[in-house]
Structure formats: structure tokens, C-alpha cells
């Protein structure tokens, strides 16, 4: 948490709003620098100077440099698990995930991979960010396994749970990369959405025989 220099009598809502403004300011300047000169070559000191804050303020809000670039990571990790936990009555885990992916694609959701050519290129050009992204995919699959285990009342290390999470996670990983590849090819979002929507249907269809009735509410 950043050092709060506001009065202790100041309303909590206002303090929180100012913290969020500072966090967004730092994130925006970091993204601009990462895209302009590359993630690896940009320093925390440069980001602090651009945002007109202390280096300590930057690291208070973003403990790791990667956190400045991938600031949707919490939502990304939790996305599949939340979809399974919130699935509709009578809906399988696969059906819920399939529906949620179609919605995310239609909305060009950044969490699904729609981030724009400059941002996608920044990630692709950075070994650090590419490695970090692979780790986020792993964490997302782990969270999905936890949600599936809860849904079917089985241990998380159950082979069926782990296999289901692996299959579902892999399809989402492949589709995410597909969106990134098409973005790097400078395809517009509407074209990417149309292409990936068709390909996602084919990918999810492959899982229907084994997972079509798995974890139905």
C-alpha cells in the first residue's frame, strides 16, 4: 500500500479514489514507456520520473515490474474459476466456459487477449513478460481445478478434476494465443472476433464428448 499523505480525517472513499488515480497514473506511464522503448529497457526510476512520484511509491503499488505491464493478471487468473462457480442451473462447466468465452470475444475483452497491436508486440518482444504470461496461464488452470473440485465434490488432485482443468485450460490458452497472433498481424478486433469465434466452436466441440455433462449444477 502506498504511503498516505492525506489527512486522517479525510473520507475513506476519497482516499481510496486518490490511491486508485495514482495507481492508474503510474500504470499508464509505465505502459507508454514499455511500448515506446521496450519492457526490458525501461527502469522503475524512469517510470517514477514520468509519473512524478517516488520510486518507492511505484513499488508500493506494483511490487514487481511485471505487475506494471500485466495489470489485469488477478482478473485473468480468476476468470475461468469464476465462470465455473457462477454457472447457470443445469449448465455444465464446459457450457459455461464456452458461453463466457463467446461473450468475452464479442466484447473484445482484454482479459481474453484483446490488447491492441502495440501491447501484444510489447509482450511478444519481452522474454520476461512472455515467461510471466505462461505462469499466469498455469495459475489460471490451477484456480480452475480448485473450482471444478468444489463443483464435483472431489479432491483437487483427483485425476478427473486435473484432466478436465488441463483440457479446458489448454483450449483457453490456445485461443488466447490465437487472439494475440491475429492482433500482431494487425487484424482489426471485429475480424479477430469473427475468426476466433468460429475456431473456438471447433475447439470446444472436441471436448463435448468427454466434458459435455461434467460438473452440471
pTM: 0.87
Contact at 8 Å (CB) between 89 and 51?
no
Task: Please report which residue ranges of 38-115 form alpha helices under DSSP H.
Answer: 44-51, 55-61, 65-69, 73-85, 93-106
Q: pLDDT 10s digit of each residue in the chain, 217 long?
A: 333 334 445 567 888 888 899 999 999 999 999 999 999 999 999 999 999 999 999 999 999 999 999 988 999 999 999 999 999 999 999 999 999 999 999 999 999 999 999 999 999 999 999 999 999 999 999 999 999 999 999 998 999 999 999 999 999 999 999 999 999 999 999 999 999 999 999 999 999 999 999 999 7
CATH number at 73-211: 1.10.357
CB proximity list for 104: less than 8 A, separation 6 or greater: 111, 112
CATH 1.10.357 residue ranges in the chain? 73-211
Superfamily (CATH H level) for 12-65: Homeodomain-like (1.10.10.60)
Amino acid at each position: 500500500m502506498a504511503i498516505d499523505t492525506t489527512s486522517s480525517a479525510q473520507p475513506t472513499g476519497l482516499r481510496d479514489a486518490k490511491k486508485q488515480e495514482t495507481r492508474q497514473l503510474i500504470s499508464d506511464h509505465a505502459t507508454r514507456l514499455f511500448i515506446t522503448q521496450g519492457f526490458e529497457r525501461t527502469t522503475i526510476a524512469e517510470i517514477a520520473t514520468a509519473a512524478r512520484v517516488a520510486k518507492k511509491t511505484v513499488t508500493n503499488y506494483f511490487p514487481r515490474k511485471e505487475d506494471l505491464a500485466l495489470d489485469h493478471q488477478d482478473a485473468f487468473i480468476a476468470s475461468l474459476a469464476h465462470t465455473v462457480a457462477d454457472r447457470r442451473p443445469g449448465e455444465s462447466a464446459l457450457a459455461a466456459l464456452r458461453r463466457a468465452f463467446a461473450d468475452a470475444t464479442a466484447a473484445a475483452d482484454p482479459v481474453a487477449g484483446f490488447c491492441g497491436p502495440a501491447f501484444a508486440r510489447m509482450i511478444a518482444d519481452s522474454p520476461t513478460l512472455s515467461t510471466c504470461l505462461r505462469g499466469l496461464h498455469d495459475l489460471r488452470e490451477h484456480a480452475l481445478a480448485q473450482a471444478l473440485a468444489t463443483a464435483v465434490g472431489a479432491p483437487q488432485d483427483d485425476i478427473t478434476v486435473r484432466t478436465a482443468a488441463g483440457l479446458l485450460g489448454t483450449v483457453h490458452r490456445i485461443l488466447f494465443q490465437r487472439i494475440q497472433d491475429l492482433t500482431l498481424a494487425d487484424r482489426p478486433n471485429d475480424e479477430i472476433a469473427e475468426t476466433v469465434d468460429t475456431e473456438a466452436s471447433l475447439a470446444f466441440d472436441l471436448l463435448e464428448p468427454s466434458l459435455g455433462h461434467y460438473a452440471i449444477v
